[in-house]
Amino acid sequence: MCVATVGLVVEIQGQRALVDFSGALREVSIALLPQVKIDDHVMVHAGFAAEIVQDVSKLYREMVASDARAGQILDAIGERAKKFSDRQIRIMNFCGSHEHTTVQYGLRELLPANIELLSGPGCPVCVTAAEEIALGMEAVWKNDVTLTTFGDLVRVPTPWGSLAELRASGGDVRVVSDVQQALRLARTGKKEVVHLAVGFETTAPATAAAVVEAAAEVPSFSIISAHRVTPPAMRYILANHAVEGVLCPGHVAMITGLGPFHAIFADFSKPYVICGFTPLDVLQGILLLLQQLAGLPVTRNQYAYAVREEGNTVARNLMNEAFSLTDAYWRHIDVLPASRLVLREKYQYFDAEYRFALQVPPVGKEKGRHCLCENILQGENPRKCPHFATGCTPAQPLGPCMVSREGACLICYNKGRS
Ligand code: SF4
């Protein structure tokens, strides 16, 4: 109980705050810190936020810059990069979590000038179609249900407004930190609960488990599935962009195993590394990519301490039990084949779109709003957007990339990417 840990405040409800500890969300009391705001870093001890921590980015940057092991890997990257001094090497952080680590620890600034790290489309909140969020709105408008979802999604702007605006006008929209919380609400509350489920292979197994549980004993629970799988987006990036290697999401590989990654990158003959999320993981991943580019035989699983070749079969069996795949629009990107997880017919009753006959008109690509999320999700630096930090800020976001914690625009805004 004597451990004090720094986390990021992502949601405030009265005297409680939802705090992000490197991706794990926990509710803590802010009774001792009434001045705290969303996006503050706080020191949490024994369930209470005790102090606001200033200038965390500087602290993190100095940690890496003075770390001996990081120095060794950076020296090796520097040596290897000299061999490619006649060209730029473009490497993609597919996942928002890698982008987060890259910016938080100032890794771009530490790399040789000819190594370019691009941010990718691996932000599930950013790619959730506006229509899928609108289905949740329609469930609340027409059916008086409780809508639950994750905090980031609530503030995402759509042509129909945001879930936060719906909540402000009296709609019953609640933030949960996991799907089991939504299931508990359905068990104990008086209203039907619709959970708007987003995320990749990392969160889909938990949703599948909740649906299977609901089918046995919680008929007042249903979901709108906006879950996506990552391989179609990887193929899209490799087919449409000149990237020379990809840092692949280690947490996705934990579920899928290495097979899908081997297959994709064999088709495109490109280097890849399954990568963890600490700054040392990311630096080591970059070095392994450069070694592959040089034709050296190296492991492609940098995250071997957490990822098994076969992945997590229990999680995959649960996903297969509940879901099948369908084509889907990835917001600001394109329709990607077999990329959305939808409930199988045997669980149709727990599909809110079916149960409440939900329908919204498709909007597809949102032209004319001048948001550059399309480019940002495919490698562009957020600072190239004319609205960045002027017309578009976390308080007044124009696009999902300025809302989601894994969105490149918000990461850049909060942490100061160069
Ligand atoms: S800064 Fe705002 S408007 Fe520009 S791309 Fe990012 S989210 Fe869109």
Helices (H) then strands (E): counts for the chain: 18, 15
Give the pLDDT confidence score for residue 324 in this predicted structure: 98
> Ligand 1 centre and the CA of 399: distance in Å?
5
Answer for the pair 233, 339: CB distance below 8 angstroms, yes or no. yes
Q: How confident is the model at residue 1 (pLDDT cuts 50, 70, 90)?
A: low
- Residue 366 bridge partners (DSSP): none
C-alpha closest to that of 65 among 97, 94, 98, 104: 104
Q: How confident is the model at residue 19 (pLDDT cuts 50, 70, 90)?
A: confident
Q: What is the end-to-end Cα distance of the chain in Å, rounded?
A: 38
Q: How confident is the model at residue 124 (pLDDT cuts 50, 70, 90)?
A: very high
Lowest mean pLDDT among 137-151, 203-217, 351-365: 351-365
> Ligand 1 centre and the CA of 350: distance in Å?
35
- Residue 329 bridge partners (DSSP): 335
pTM: 0.89
Rounded to the nearest integer, the mean pLDDT of the chain is 91
Fill in the DSSP letter of residue 24.
E
**Mutation test residue for ligand 1: of 376, 404, 406, 411, the one with most atoms within 8 Å of CB:** 376
pLDDT, average across residues 173-187: 94
Q: Is 123 in the pocket of ligand 1 (CB under 6 A)?
A: no
Residue 399 CA, closest ligand 1 atom number: 7
Instruction: Examine the pLDDT at 207 and tell me if it is beyond 70.
Output: yes
**In a 10 Å sphere around its CB, with 0-12 CB exposed, 13-18 middle and 19+ buried, how is residue 380 labelled?**
middle
Residue type, 340: R
Instruction: Show the tokens assigned to 394.
Output: 């976390």
pLDDT, average across residues 120-135: 95
Residue 408 CA, closest ligand 1 atom number: 6
What SS3 state is found at 388? strand
- Residue 237, phi then psi, degrees to nearest 5: -65, -45
Nearest CA to ligand 1 atom 1: 388
Q: How confident is the model at residue 231 (pLDDT cuts 50, 70, 90)?
A: very high
Question: Residues 6 or more apart from 54 whose CB is under 8 A from it?
Answer: none
Give the pLDDT confidence score for residue 144 in this predicted structure: 87
pLDDT, average across residues 296-320: 94
Render pLDDT for 44-86 as a digit per residue (tens, 0 to 9): 888 898 888 887 777 777 878 888 899 999 999 999 999 998 8
Alpha-carbon separation of residue 343 from 18, 203, 258, 324 (angstroms):
29, 15, 25, 6
Residue 413 CA, closest ligand 1 atom number: 1
What is the CB-side half-sphere exposure of residue 129 using CA atoms within 13 A?
Answer: 23
C-alpha closest to that of 248 among 337, 313, 318, 260: 260
Q: Is 398 in the pocket of ligand 1 (CB under 6 A)?
A: yes
The helix (run of H) or strand (run of E) holding residue 53 is strand 48-53
Torsion of CA 233, 238, 239, 241, to 10 degrees: 110
Q: How far apart are CA 260 and CA 109, in angstroms?
A: 32
| E-only strand ranges, 232-322 | 245-249, 272-275
Percentage of the chain lying above the pLDDT 90 cut: 71
Lowest mean pLDDT among 1-5, 171-175, 302-306: 1-5
pLDDT, average across residues 390-402: 90
pLDDT, average across residues 239-266: 95
**Mutation test residue for ligand 1: of 371, 374, 406, the one with most atoms within 8 Å of CB:** 371
Q: Is 382 in the pocket of ligand 1 (CB under 6 A)?
A: yes
- Residue 144, phi then psi, degrees to nearest 5: 50, 50
Fill in the DSSP letter of residue 2.
-
Q: How far apart are CA 176 and CA 173, in angstroms?
A: 10
Angle at 254 between CA 320 and CA 352, to 5 degrees: 40
Give the pLDDT confidence score for residue 8 in this predicted structure: 83
Q: How confident is the model at residue 177 (pLDDT cuts 50, 70, 90)?
A: confident
Domains of the chain with bracketed CATH: 4-54 (2.30.30.140), 57-418 (3.40.50.11740)
**In a 10 Å sphere around its CB, with 0-12 CB exposed, 13-18 middle and 19+ buried, how is residue 341 labelled?**
buried
Give the pLDDT confidence score for residue 416 in this predicted structure: 63
Percentage of the chain lying above the pLDDT 70 cut: 96
Give the pLDDT confidence score for residue 367 in this predicted structure: 61
Instruction: Examine the pLDDT at 2 and tell me if it is beyond 70.
Output: no
H helix runs in 144-278, sequence order: 151-154, 163-168, 179-188, 204-217, 231-240, 250-256, 259-268
Q: How far apart are CA 382 and CA 361, in angstroms?
A: 30
> Ligand 1 centre and the CA of 220: distance in Å?
38
- Residue 161 bridge partners (DSSP): 158
Instruction: Examine the pLDDT at 418 and tell me if it is beyond 60.
Output: no
SS percent in the chain: helix, strand, coil, step 5? 40, 25, 35
Q: How far apart are CA 44 and CA 52, in angstroms?
A: 9
Q: How confident is the model at residue 213 (pLDDT cuts 50, 70, 90)?
A: very high
Q: Is 243 in the pocket of ligand 1 (CB under 6 A)?
A: no
Lowest mean pLDDT among 17-26, 118-127, 181-190, 300-309: 17-26
Torsion of CA 361, 365, 371, 376, to 10 degrees: 130
What is the 3-class SS of 326-369, one letter each residue? EEEEECCCEEEEEEEEEECHHHHHHEHHHHCCCCCCCCCCCCCC
Instruction: Show the tokens assigned to 82.
Output: 């000299």
C-alpha closest to that of 193 among 205, 204, 203, 184: 184
Nearest CA to ligand 1 atom 6: 409
